[in-house]
């Protein structure tokens, strides 16, 4: 089976090397004008919806890497460095719906969703992708109340977890969407999921959906900005 290509932050070398052993990996860019803990986060730099990849036009090194790998993308210009302009691509795609702060969403993403009849679900949380771990086409894990409420309202299965127990450099805590990724029938957690206070509930949620849990190490869960599956 051909190895998938992932966009992964190179800021944490242990997690980066872990994925290199199993996938083709492209390192995310460094956006110097972003807040320090956001600079390398893949979920701030790219958004994948179906077969379309939207990329922050400021990510010059990333764009160059994508070209070398013959990965096509839509160039999204005009993305700012401060909230809420910085979260223009930070949206969670699930089923045929996009969870996001609609007012901050990039115009090219809005246009694509309109053309493809993808429903945009507005939430208060601007960092929608950071805060959401998409488990399958109808299930998510989140610690955010606005995302949980909006998702339940449209029939998505939600495991609402508590905030905390996830490391994010220079911040009080990180987020589950940035600390994990579901690829096929495997849920990769960046660190040890069993260090999280809701580990048992997360394990049961995954087991019910026949998804195997893989931990990248024995350290505290770490928010690296998630990973983006590019192909």
Structural domain spans, the chain: 5-229
CA distances from 71 to 55, 64, 67, 106, 196 (A): 11, 10, 6, 20, 36
User: Token pair for residue 107?
Assistant: 């115009």
Which residues have a Cβ under 8 Å from the Cβ of 213 and sit 6 or more positions away?
A: 186, 187, 189, 193, 202, 203, 206
Tens digit of each residue's pLDDT (9 = 90 or more) over 80-135: 999 999 999 999 999 999 999 999 999 999 999 999 999 999 999 999 999 999 99
Q: 5-229 maps to which CATH number?
A: 3.75.10
Taking Cα atoms as reference points, which of 167, 173, 179, 164 lies closest to residue 216?
179
User: Token pair for residue 160?
Assistant: 């609402």
Tens digit of each residue's pLDDT (9 = 90 or more) over 58-77: 999 999 999 999 999 999 99
Reported pTM:
0.97
Taking Cα atoms as reference points, which of 231, 206, 174, 224 lies closest to residue 18?
224
Which residues have a Cβ under 8 Å from the Cβ of 96 and sit 6 or more positions away?
A: 117, 118, 119
């Amino acid at each position: 089976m051909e190895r998938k290509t992932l966009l992964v932050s190179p800021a944490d070398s242990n997690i980066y090397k872990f994925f290199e052993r199993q996938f083709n990996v492209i390192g995310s860019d460094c956006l110097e004008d972003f807040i320090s803990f956001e600079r390398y986060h893949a979920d701030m730099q790219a958004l994948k919806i179906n077969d379309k990849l939207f990329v922050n036009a400021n990510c010059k090194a990333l764009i160059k890497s994508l070209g070398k790998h013959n990965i096509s993308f839509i160039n999204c210009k005009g993305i700012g460095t401060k909230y809420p302009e910085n979260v223009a691509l930070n949206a969670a795609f699930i089923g045929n719906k996009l969870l996001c702060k609609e007012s901050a969403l990039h115009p090219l993403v809005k246009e694509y969703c309109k053309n493809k009849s993808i429903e945009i679900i507005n939430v208060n949380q601007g960092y929608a992708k950071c805060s959401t771990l998409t488990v399958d086409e109808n299930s998510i894990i989140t610690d955010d109340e606005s995302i949980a409420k909006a998702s339940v309202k449209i029939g998505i299965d939600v495991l609402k977890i508590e905030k905390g127990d996830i490391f994010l450099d220079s911040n009080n805590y990180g987020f589950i969407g940035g600390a994990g990724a579901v690829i096929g029938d495997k849920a990769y957690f960046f660190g040890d999921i069993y260090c999280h206070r809701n580990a048992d509930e997360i394990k049961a949620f995954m087991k019910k959906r026949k998804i195997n849990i893989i931990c990248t190490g024995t350290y505290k869960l770490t928010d690296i900005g998630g990973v983006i599956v590019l192909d």
